[in-house]
């Protein structure tokens, strides 16, 4: 277990650089640290006004970035969560390879539907297809993607499902159909977890503010 807090740069809220923002990739990394009980220190980055020191450690200007034990900084939530799994193997959050991509198409299909201005372009159906596929998986393997224990695939999906819930609720008055009971229970279980409450955006308004320019584009 780490004795010193791991440093991690994450997105600050839109218009509130002092509050935790709405980046699902940042939250995925924070969730991994929380679930592994690794002490960490967040540095909130105002992505509309990136400081010079941040651009030096994250040349592409992206969050999250995390400082490794050797003092080097690394970007990309896939890379960072794998590093954390290797460095802090207990508790293991490894998802078996055959389940690693469960739910992976939900985020891109959600974004297409959210931005869609044509109700007949099939984007809602495409999202429903992905949610139904998750429903079937959870029905036979749940309550989490890998069964009884939460794993990396859930921690990747949880913030994305939260964005889906908040943004589609706000911009389209749309919610996950009630009959997808396993998906609804799964979302509730994830959002009520201590790790999620400790790492979620400071308010739904920041999730909405984050999507607004993309929805109105
Ligand atoms: N593939 C990256 C995506 C990271 C990403 O897109 N971060 C966004 C915020 S959610 C960002 O840094 N945006 C700032 C910018 O592009 O200027 C990961 O998994 O970490």
pTM score, whole prediction: 0.97
141 Cα distance to chain centroid: 22
- Is 1 inside a domain boundary? no
> What residues form DSSP beta bridges with 74?
66
The two tokens of residue 23 are: 């980046």
Q: Which of 62, 199, 201, when mutated, tests ligand 1's pocket best, judged by the most ligand atoms within 8 Å of its CB?
A: 62
Task: State the pLDDT at residue 217.
Answer: 86
Question: Which residue numbers are catalytic?
Answer: 23
- pLDDT score, position 211: 97
Q: What CATH number corresponds to the domain at position 196?
A: 1.20.1050.10
Last residue of a domain, one of 87, 121, 141: 87
Note whether residue 122 is domain-resident: yes
DSSP state of 190: H
One domain, residues 191 and 101: yes
Q: Does 206 reside within a domain? A: yes
Q: How far away, in angstroms, is 140 Cα from ligand 1 center?
A: 33
Q: Do residues 200 and 131 share a domain?
A: yes
77 and 104 fall within a common domain: no
* Residue bearing the CA closest to ligand 1, atom 15: 62
Low-confidence ranges of the chain (pLDDT < 70): 1-3
Ligand 1 neighbourhood includes 23 CB (under 6 angstroms)? yes
- List all residues 6 or more positions away from 162 whose beta carbon is below 8 Å from its beta carbon: 24, 27, 187, 190, 191, 196, 200, 207
Q: Where among 87, 112, 141 does a domain terminate?
A: 87
CATH number of the domain residue 57 falls in:
3.40.30.10
Q: Is 67 in the same domain as 113? A: no
**Whether residue 127 is found in the same domain as residue 177:** yes
Look at residue 92 and tell me if it is in a domain: no
pLDDT at 1: 52
Q: How many independent structural domains does the chain possess? A: 2
Are 111 and 206 members of one domain? yes
Distance CA 136, CA 129 (A): 11
Minimal-distance CA residue to ligand 1 atom 16: 62
Ligand 1 pocket residue status of 206, Cβ below 6 Å: no
Whether residue 127 sits in one domain with residue 107: yes
Residue 47 lies in a domain: yes
Atom of ligand 1 nearest to the CA of 63: 12
Distance from the alpha carbon of residue 75 to the mean position of ligand 1, in angstroms: 9
- Cβ(163) – ligand 1 distance below 6 Å: no
Domain ends where: 62, 87, 112? 87
**Is residue 80 domain-shared with residue 105, that is, in the same domain?**
no
Cα of 66 from ligand 1 centre, angstroms:
13
24 and 63 both lie in a single domain: yes
Q: Which of 79, 81, 4, 15 is nearest to 47 (CA)?
A: 15
Q: Is 48 exposed, middle or buried (0-12, 13-18, 19+ CB in 10 A)?
A: exposed
Q: Is 58 among the domain residues?
A: yes
Q: Which domain holds residue 110?
A: 97-216
């Amino acid at each position: 277990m780490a004795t010193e807090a791991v440093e991690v740069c994450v997105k600050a809220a839109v218009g509130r650089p002092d509050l935790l923002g709405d980046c699902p990739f940042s939250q995925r990394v924070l969730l991994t640290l929380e679930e592994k009980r690794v002490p960490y220190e967040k540095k909130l980055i105002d992505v509309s006004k990136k400081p010079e020191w941040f651009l030096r450690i994250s040349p592409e200007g992206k969050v999250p970035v995390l400082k490794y034990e050797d003092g080097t900084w690394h970007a990309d939530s896939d890379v960072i969560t794998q590093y954390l799994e290797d460095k802090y193997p207990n508790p293991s959050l490894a998802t078996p390879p055959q389940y690693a991509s469960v739910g992976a198409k939900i985020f891109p299909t959600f974004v297409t539907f959210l931005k869609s201005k044509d109700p007949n372009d099939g984007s809602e159906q495409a999202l429903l297809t992905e949610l139904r596929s998750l429903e079937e998986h959870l029905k036979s393997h749940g309550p989490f993607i890998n069964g009884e224990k939460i794993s990396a695939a859930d921690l990747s999906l949880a913030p994305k499902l939260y964005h889906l819930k908040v943004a589609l609720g706000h911009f389209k008055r749309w919610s996950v159909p009630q009959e997808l009971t396993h998906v609804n229970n799964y979302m509730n279980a994830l959002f009520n977890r201590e790790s999620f409450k400790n790492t979620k955006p400071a308010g739904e308004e920041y999730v909405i503010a984050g999507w607004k320019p993309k929805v109105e584009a």
